[in-house]
Amino acid sequence: MKPIDALVSSLPEGRVLTDPDVIDSYARDRTFVAPGKPLGVVLAASRDDVVTTMRWATEHRVPVVPRGGGSGLAGAAVAGDGSIVLSLARMNAIRELSPADEIAVVEPGVITADLDRAAREHGLMYAPDPSSYEISTIGGNLATNAGGLRCVKYGVTRDSALGLEVVLADGRVIETGRRTMKGVTGYDLTGLFVGSEGTLGVITAATVRLRRAPAAPPATFAAEFGSLRDAGAAVSAIMAAGCQPSLMELIDRASLEALDDWLNIGLEPDTQATLIGQSDATDSQAVVERMERLCLENGASFVAVSTSPQEAEELIRLRRLDYQAKERLGACLVEDVCVPRSLLPDMITAIEETSARHGVKILTVAHAGDGNLHPVFIFDRGMPEPPAEVWAAADEVFKRALELGGTLTGEHGVGLLKRRWLDLESGPVVTEVQQGIKAVFDPLGILNPGKAI
Amino acid sequence: MKPIDALVSSLPEGRVLTDPDVIDSYARDRTFVAPGKPLGVVLAASRDDVVTTMRWATEHRVPVVPRGGGSGLAGAAVAGDGSIVLSLARMNAIRELSPADEIAVVEPGVITADLDRAAREHGLMYAPDPSSYEISTIGGNLATNAGGLRCVKYGVTRDSALGLEVVLADGRVIETGRRTMKGVTGYDLTGLFVGSEGTLGVITAATVRLRRAPAAPPATFAAEFGSLRDAGAAVSAIMAAGCQPSLMELIDRASLEALDDWLNIGLEPDTQATLIGQSDATDSQAVVERMERLCLENGASFVAVSTSPQEAEELIRLRRLDYQAKERLGACLVEDVCVPRSLLPDMITAIEETSARHGVKILTVAHAGDGNLHPVFIFDRGMPEPPAEVWAAADEVFKRALELGGTLTGEHGVGLLKRRWLDLESGPVVTEVQQGIKAVFDPLGILNPGKAI
């Protein structure tokens, strides 16, 4: 009996897909095609399915690639030859939602926005909101420590993760963390699993923190700037004034053009950048008026302010559609560098110079309040992977971010994409330590090999 | 040459103390006497001193106990026979403070409140504020993942730690984390070191996040309740109303009596608990009035509200002096259990029952907004360690906290004190994993052996 047949017979019927055409769509992520052909896909419906799969994988030494919604942008969920894709998408129950303790216990396949909607019914919210939150899963968010628009005020996924249930490489189950707001019993294994891209274990449940949803409707502004540097200065001024925006997004000219081509947003010829900000404070209107003033003082040519939830939704929808607008232009290589906030204008300038020098189209949006930029490098859709000039441009941008005291990845993760630059940021001793940790959890090296570290 | 002489000669003059009487005061923490006699104390003044000490310790296989301010309450910094105490207290420079990026780079010996004061000069604050913050160090706070009064709104030490410089057991130096607000490059080593009580490495610098200090003065209330259960219900009501207090402290009758004996606070005969709350929001007065109303609706017999910073300071000073008031009564065993917030009244009731059943005096204060309680068990100062009935009562309280879905330690750490209960919370597989991680960093087992895990 082939190993895959042993797996099929040890799981309930219908759990394993082996049709090559079907498998293919489970072996890639949003930007990266699969580097090989997996043996099959397990559609886990329970923790027991995950345990069975990992025991089998340990016995047969088969690589396992855990997978959520497949909306990743760094290749963390792509699967290679001879591996098994372990999809957690069907494990999508919200097991518990406690308004009194402001926590929820969820399975990894829960769609991020669904958890937020369930929390809102109790006056609460689930804060982390990656742009893909209508298709991404909590499990994928945990695996990459996803950020999002609101994290400028409410923190990243790590900041909402209290405890985890994890199936280890050999099929043993552990619980990490807690249900309480604080706790320091033993090493922080919860934090270690978050962001580890499925290389240390398979998360089968998470206890997450919910927060009070703002009572009043948010107030929102959108400001147009004739230069990116002015927009960057406005961001610094707004943050330094203690406005605590609940969202602070910068969109560059090239990205605005892509949106305008698609959605006809009425882009003015002189606009080089749009800044969108929001406050969800109880005095949100006053705060946004302060932000408006700071934009005008820093050279904004036009600022629109709105306290209508519908208008706000429309403004922010544009930002959320940004990546789709870029996908219309060709294949995309997406970076995710993060720099100290005050150096945002320097980083944007460097990106523009790189774009010109290499003749590569680069469109940038930024979670500006966090100093987190997403330069998207466009190339011909027909190519199997980015051409040399795109890699050269990407290399320059990564290196410049590190020179500025920044990091390779703010919220998308390392995946496959950034491994070639990892040593520049981490250094050999950190790499050795990380490999040591990996070996503690996964001595056979079967959990998502070749990713994250 | 004896090993200790080799250490003395390899460090700059005056760095090593070997006088037994002097050593003794460096070998204990605030509650636990030293279990043995260390060989000496290194007063490290630089990272190089730490590197030299760790290389020597690796060569001679000597246990090293890193130490900050010595204000710990769980025995994490006590030193045993044949070990070296490595004091980081002299490494107390604030290397950098960037208002634009809202970060500081500090050495481990910086006193917590000093960093906060330095930040306030720029309109910022360092949020974590353990009650001992005038004597505790940032290094000690990182080692225990210290909480404090403000963490109900601003999070614990982990939430302010962005990156670390760490000397490993063999003297190699690594940098973890980043200077940016977000980052997911590799495993979260920063989070792993925070709370690890010096068992994985010696922190020699930290990049920490600062926050905007509130612009308006805070508003504060103090409410008196005739029953602990009513006070607990008021806490739940206040949190559920989305008041976002910046402080929410509960003091029980026994603790109030200790304060009254010492400071003559005018305690009323019917008061069973005092609740102190604060808001630092821009509309702090309105928020505190809402909290006042919720206290009255939940049975408070009296509520005082103040917007005077001096009066607020006076109220909170009482809370901060609480532990000193207890130390006047005898020797103290301090617990630090944390339960889901809604179960705070159940936990308090359980503590009262335990106190009566075992005839042990237990005084409790709680960071009530976090569900984090500090029951203090009083025993005869002359005893070398707590008597059997105190351990039996402590055992009951720990077990009840775990039954309620809580944790052994919210913010003080495991140290020596809680190791005997660790398996009840963590289980054997987690213990095995933690020991595996420990071995990656410290294969010889010389870093603070017998603590944390």
Contacts of A175 in chain B (CB under 8 A): 427, 430
The correct answer on CATH 3.30.70.2190 for the domain covering A214-328 is yes
Q: How many CB atoms lie within 10 A of CB B100?
A: 13
Q: Is B443 on the interface with A (CB under 8 A)?
A: no
Query: How many angstroms separate the CA atoms of A251 and A256, rounded?
Result: 7
Buried b or exposed e, range A99-131, using 16+ CB within 10 angstroms: bebbbbbbbbbbbbbbbbebbeebebbbbbbbb
**CA-closest candidate to residue B109, choices B155, B55, B50, B52:** B50
Mean pLDDT on A312-318: 85
Residue partners of B47: CB distance under 8 A and separation at least 6: B91, B165, B167, B173, B204, B205
Contacts of A195 in chain B (CB under 8 A): 184, 187-188
pLDDT of B174 over the 90 cut = yes
Q: Is A425 on the interface with B (CB under 8 A)?
A: yes
Confidence of residue B363 (pLDDT cuts 50, 70, 90): very high
Contacts of A194 in chain B (CB under 8 A): 188
Q: Is B412 on the interface with A (CB under 8 A)?
A: yes
**What pLDDT, on a 0 to 100 scale, did the predictor assign at position B383?**
85
Q: Is A430 on the interface with B (CB under 8 A)?
A: yes
Say whether B410 and A180 touch across the interface (CB within 8 A). Answer: yes
Say whether A195 and B187 touch across the interface (CB within 8 A). Answer: yes
Query: How many angstroms separate the CA atoms of A421 and A404, rounded?
Result: 15
Q: Which residue has the higher pLDDT, A30 or B58?
A: B58
**CA-closest candidate to residue B254, choices B232, B274, B276, B231:** B274
Q: Is A191 on the interface with B (CB under 8 A)?
A: yes
Same topology, domains A3-87 and A94-212? Answer is no
Query: First vs last Cα of chain B: how many Å apart?
Result: 35
**What pLDDT, on a 0 to 100 scale, did the predictor assign at position A103?**
96
Phi/psi for B161 (5° steps) reads -95, 120
Paired tokens of A171: 């099929």
**What pLDDT, on a 0 to 100 scale, did the predictor assign at position A216?**
81
Q: Which of B160, B184, B188, B400 to mutate to test the interface with A (most CBs of A within 10 A)?
A: B184
Q: Is B377 on the interface with A (CB under 8 A)?
A: no
Say whether B410 and A196 touch across the interface (CB within 8 A). Answer: no
Of the candidates A103, A186, A414, the beta carbon closest to that of B430 is on: A186
The correct answer on CATH 3.30.465.10 for the domain covering B94-212 is yes
Confidence of residue B270 (pLDDT cuts 50, 70, 90): very high
Confidence of residue B419 (pLDDT cuts 50, 70, 90): confident
CATH dotted code for A329-438: 3.30.70.2740
pLDDT of B313 over the 90 cut = no
- Alpha helices (H) along A328-421: 344-358, 388-403
Paired tokens of B136: 């505790």
**CA-closest candidate to residue A359, choices A320, A387, A333:** A387
**What pLDDT, on a 0 to 100 scale, did the predictor assign at position A90?**
98
Average pLDDT, chain A: 94
Phi/psi for A42 (5° steps) reads -95, 125
Residue partners of A180: CB distance under 8 A and separation at least 6: A162, B338, B339, B340, B341, B370, B371, B372, B405, B406, B407, B410
Mean pLDDT on B116-133: 96
CATH topology of domain B330-447: Alpha-Beta Plaits (3.30.70)
Contacts of B210 in chain A (CB under 8 A): none
**What pLDDT, on a 0 to 100 scale, did the predictor assign at position B143?**
97
Average pLDDT, chain B: 94
Q: Which of B187, B343, B430, B440 to mutate to test the interface with A (most CBs of A within 10 A)?
A: B187
Of the candidates B145, B200, B340, the beta carbon closest to that of A184 is on: B145
Say whether A407 and B185 touch across the interface (CB within 8 A). Answer: yes
Are A247 and A278 contacting, i.e. CB atoms less than 8 angstroms apart?
yes
Contacts of B370 in chain A (CB under 8 A): 180-182
Mean pLDDT on B278-283: 91
Contacts of B437 in chain A (CB under 8 A): 187, 437, 440
User: What are the pLDDT digits (tens) for B198-207?
Assistant: 999 999 999 9
Contacts of A421 in chain B (CB under 8 A): none
Query: How many angstroms separate the CA atoms of A92 and B442, rounded?
Result: 40
Give the gap in angstroms from C-alpha B258 to the nearest C-alpha of chain A: 27
User: What are the pLDDT digits (tens) for B60-88?
Assistant: 999 999 999 999 988 899 999 999 999 99
Domain range summary for chain B, segments of one domain joined by +: 3-87, 94-212, 214-325, 330-447
Query: Judged by CB atoms within 8 Å, which residues 297-326 of B form the interface with A?
Result: none
Q: Is A150 on the interface with B (CB under 8 A)?
A: no
DSSP for residue A407? B
Of the candidates B175, B196, B341, the beta carbon closest to that of A181 is on: B341
Of the candidates B189, B414, B440, the beta carbon closest to that of A430 is on: B189
Give the gap in angstroms from C-alpha A177 to the nearest C-alpha of chain B: 9
**CA-closest candidate to residue B73, choices B280, B327, B431:** B327
Do the strands A273-279 and A219-225 form a parallel or antiparallel pair, or are they unpaired?
antiparallel
Contacts of B159 in chain A (CB under 8 A): 155, 159
For residue B311, how far is the Cα from the chain centroid? 26
Of the candidates B236, B422, B426, the beta carbon closest to that of A100 is on: B236
Say whether A180 and B414 touch across the interface (CB within 8 A). Answer: no
pLDDT of A32 over the 90 cut = no
Of the candidates B100, B102, B182, the beta carbon closest to that of A410 is on: B182
Query: How many angstroms separate the CA atoms of B75 and B81, rounded?
Result: 15
Phi/psi for A338 (5° steps) reads -135, 130
Residue tagged 């003297």 (tokens): B171
User: What are the pLDDT digits (tens) for A341-358?
Assistant: 889 989 999 999 999 999
User: What are the pLDDT digits (tens) for A411-428?
Assistant: 999 988 888 888 888 889
Mean pLDDT on A389-411: 95
Residue partners of A126: CB distance under 8 A and separation at least 6: A104, A112, A115, A116, A119, A160, A208, A210, A211
Phi/psi for A10 (5° steps) reads -90, -5
Phi/psi for A403 (5° steps) reads -60, -35
CATH dotted code for B3-87: 3.30.43.10
Q: Is B171 on the interface with A (CB under 8 A)?
A: no
Residue tagged 């050495």 (tokens): B107
- Alpha helices (H) along A92-227: 112-120, 138-144, 151-154, 189-193
CATH dotted code for B214-325: 3.30.70.2190
User: What are the pLDDT digits (tens) for A198-223?
Assistant: 999 999 999 999 999 998 889 999 99
pLDDT of A172 over the 90 cut = yes
Tell me which H or E stretch contains B22: helix B20-26
Q: Is B185 on the interface with A (CB under 8 A)?
A: yes
Q: Is B437 on the interface with A (CB under 8 A)?
A: yes
Q: Find, in chain B, the residue whose alpha carbon is nearest to that of A170.
A: B429
Say whether A184 and B409 touch across the interface (CB within 8 A). Answer: yes
Query: How many angstroms separate the CA atoms of B17 and A56, rounded?
Result: 57
Query: Judged by CB atoms within 8 Å, which residues 84-103 of B form the interface with A?
Result: 98-103
**What pLDDT, on a 0 to 100 scale, did the predictor assign at position A26?**
93
Phi/psi for A91 (5° steps) reads -85, 80
C-alpha gyration radius of chain A? 22
Contacts of B407 in chain A (CB under 8 A): 178, 180, 182-183, 185
Residue partners of A329: CB distance under 8 A and separation at least 6: A258, A361, A363, A378
Say whether B180 and A282 touch across the interface (CB within 8 A). Answer: no
Say whether B338 and A178 touch across the interface (CB within 8 A). Answer: yes
Say whether B440 and A437 touch across the interface (CB within 8 A). Answer: yes
Query: Judged by CB atoms within 8 Å, which residues 387-406 of B form the interface with A?
Result: 405-406
**CA-closest candidate to residue A366, choices A297, A279, A274, A234:** A274
Are B77 and B31 contacting, i.e. CB atoms less than 8 angstroms apart?
no
Confidence of residue B32 (pLDDT cuts 50, 70, 90): confident
Q: Find, in chain B, the residue whose alpha carbon is nearest to that of A211.
A: B242
Query: Judged by CB atoms within 8 Å, which residues 20-79 of A form the interface with B?
Result: none
User: What are the pLDDT digits (tens) for A69-78?
Assistant: 999 988 899 9
Paired tokens of B277: 């709350």
Q: Find, in chain A, the residue whose alpha carbon is nearest to that of B413.
A: A184
pLDDT of A21 over the 90 cut = no
